[in-house]
Structure 1
Amino acid sequence: MSGDILPGSLNGHTALVTGGTSGIGRGTVEALSAAGARVFVGSRSFAKAEELSRELTDRGMAVDALEIDVLDERSVSTAFSEIDRTNAALSLLVNNVGTTAYEPFGDIKVSTWDMVMSTNVRSAFLCSQRAIERMLPAGQGQIVNVGSIWATRGGPGRAAYISSKHALVGLTKALDQEFGQHGIRVNMVNPGPVATERAMKTDVDTTGWLEPRDIGNLVAFLASPSSKAVRGAIVDAFGNGKVLGNFD
């Protein structure tokens, strides 16, 4: 596919992509695999992860299914232990799981606020802790957090979502400062409108929007040796700069 980074640029790397069975997650799995990485597809649904694993394996890619509920601390620990049991040395974590909530500030329920913060921030905290434990002995590794263009902006009716993505910026920069000296690079990608499966099922005009694989290619670049100078970066991915949509 046009725009893919060079095949082989991630040879020898092992990656975990959370929320990897659809949308940006799937596009990232495909891009990393095409670049030569062994990829674990993380999903709460092992059946969906297995289905994608079989599809991509049949295309000659090294893709493994991994059941993980990123909201559950025990599940996260178990999933990382499963990776360990394959003797794979995890060198890349893509924190892609996320959820949205659009409603006026006064209408936000505490349960909604907590759900958005847990899904978008706590999950990245839990997975990053486990990943960094494994990267430190090797003295190298990459974490890429998938945010949103709203991570550096404000807007009405999005307080919970925007706050969570701003928090992910803070986590990215904090981890970069704490672990960059140990060879671990942490960056963040903020997609603009992306033509995911969910967006395509609506009547929204997605003409000119980025494809999930476009974001995946950017993640693959940030994980590759070509980007070794990039640390603690918050990278906006706007595509053609079209007006913001509800499917970021």
Structure 2
Amino acid sequence: MKRVAVVTGGGSGIGSAICQRLGADGYAVAVLDLNGDGAELTAKEIVAAGGQAVGYQLDVSDRTDVDRVLGEVRAELGSVSVLVTSAAVAIQEPFAEISVESWNRIMAINLTGTFNCAQSVLPEMVESGWGRVVFISSSSAQRGGPKMAHYAASKGGVIALTKTLALEYSPLGVTINNISPSSIDTPSVRRKQEAGLVPSNEVMGRHIPVGRMGTGADIAGACAYLCSDDASFVTGQTVSVNGGSYLA
């Protein structure tokens, strides 16, 4: 039986790239996204390429919705062996202008959403004696992000959650890691470029040692390794996929 991989935020960008890589690697992929049409499109692309996938609409900040949708995943695809949490929202606001509502929304999706999904699937991974959990964090949590205090704080929480869960669950056969991307070319970044909020890919690429922006496939490659049997001795780690950005 194929291992079942659940990916949140799978309807676009990094999440979609991860879904497609895991589908190509032979997983049955549950593509979860608040944008149900985007989730279904990613799933159709995986199926068209010869893989197995189903798209589901999901609000990760709603625990009732999480438990309901994951129940549908189990009924349709089987027990969950892999969880990747890529669902997130990023807003640029000066700290003094961040409202309580904005702060709470970022935390609810980025951090509480990660908690909701992990807590929902970990028991079945423990029962089977095998599991892989990969959270998607951010370089903003490691070096800060101008006008992104709420986003950076939420992703810092994801890194802390990684280390704590690794201590609890690694003895039970489940590894917990996170990937910290930086300067990745995604639809979200392109929208910010169009709005003049961030520089062009060419400008950003000049400040990255490898000489280019990252792609969703770059993150997906790292994720595929962390989800594999080869990564059984890797847990509690933050894997920075950033083209050497910190060296510049």
TM-score after normalising by structure 2? 0.89
1:96 and 2:91 are equivalent in the alignment? no
* TM superposition shift of 1:65: 1.1
* TM superposition shift of 1:86: 2.0
Identity %: 29
Query: Bigger shift: 107-116 or 157-166?
Result: 157-166
Q: Tell me the distance in 2 between the aligned counterparts of 1:113 and 1:37.
A: 35
Could you say if the C-alpha distance between residues 114 and 95 of structure 1 is closer, same or farther in structure 2, counting changes exceeding 3 Å?
same
Higher normalized contact order (CA 8 Å, seq sep 6+, divided by chain length): 1
**2:37 is matched with which residue: 16, 33, 47?**
47
- The answer to whether the Cα contact below 8 Å between 1:32 and 1:217 also exists between their aligned partners in 2 is no
Mapping of 1:1-248 within 5 angstroms? 12-86=2-76, 88-201=78-191, 202=193, 204-207=199-202, 208-241=212-245
Query: Bigger shift: 62-71 or 44-53?
Result: 44-53
Q: Deviations over 1:146-186 (max 9, x none)?
A: 01111222344221111111111111111101111101100
One-letter amino acid of the counterpart of residue 237, structure 1: V
> What secondary structure sits across from 1:99 in the alignment?
coil
Q: Deviations over 1:43-71 (max 9, x none)?
A: 12333222222222111011111221111
* TM superposition shift of 1:205: 2.1
One-letter amino acid of the counterpart of residue 141, structure 2: A
Q: Tell me the distance in 1 between the aligned counterparts of 2:120 and 2:22.
A: 21
One-letter amino acid of the counterpart of residue 29, structure 1: C
Q: Tell me the distance in 2 between the aligned counterparts of 1:50 and 1:161.
A: 27
**Higher helix proportion:** 2
Q: Deviations over 1:57-112 (max 9, x none)?
A: 11101111122111111110101110121251211000111111222221110001
One-letter amino acid of the counterpart of residue 209, structure 1: M
Q: Tell me the distance in 2 between the aligned counterparts of 1:166 and 1:75.
A: 25
Q: Tell me the distance in 1 between the aligned counterparts of 2:153 and 2:38.
A: 30
> What secondary structure sits across from 1:143 in the alignment?
strand
Q: Tell me the distance in 2 between the aligned counterparts of 1:65 and 1:25.
A: 12
Could you say if the C-alpha distance between residues 243 and 200 of structure 1 is closer, same or farther in structure 2, counting changes exceeding 3 Å?
farther
Q: Tell me the distance in 1 between the aligned counterparts of 2:11 and 2:93.
A: 27
One-letter amino acid of the counterpart of residue 95, structure 1: T
> What secondary structure sits across from 1:231 in the alignment?
coil
Q: What 5-or-longer segments of structure 2 have no aligned partner?
A: 203-211
Could you say if the C-alpha distance between residues 100 and 198 of structure 1 is closer, same or farther in structure 2, counting changes exceeding 3 Å?
closer
Q: Deviations over 1:189-248 (max 9, x none)?
A: 00010011233353532141011111011101100111111010011111252899xxxx
Q: Tell me the distance in 2 between the aligned counterparts of 1:91 and 1:200.
A: 33
TM-score after normalising by structure 1? 0.89
Q: What 5-or-longer segments of structure 1 have no aligned partner?
A: 1-10
Could you say if the C-alpha distance between residues 162 and 213 of structure 1 is closer, same or farther in structure 2, counting changes exceeding 3 Å?
same
One-letter amino acid of the counterpart of residue 165, structure 1: K
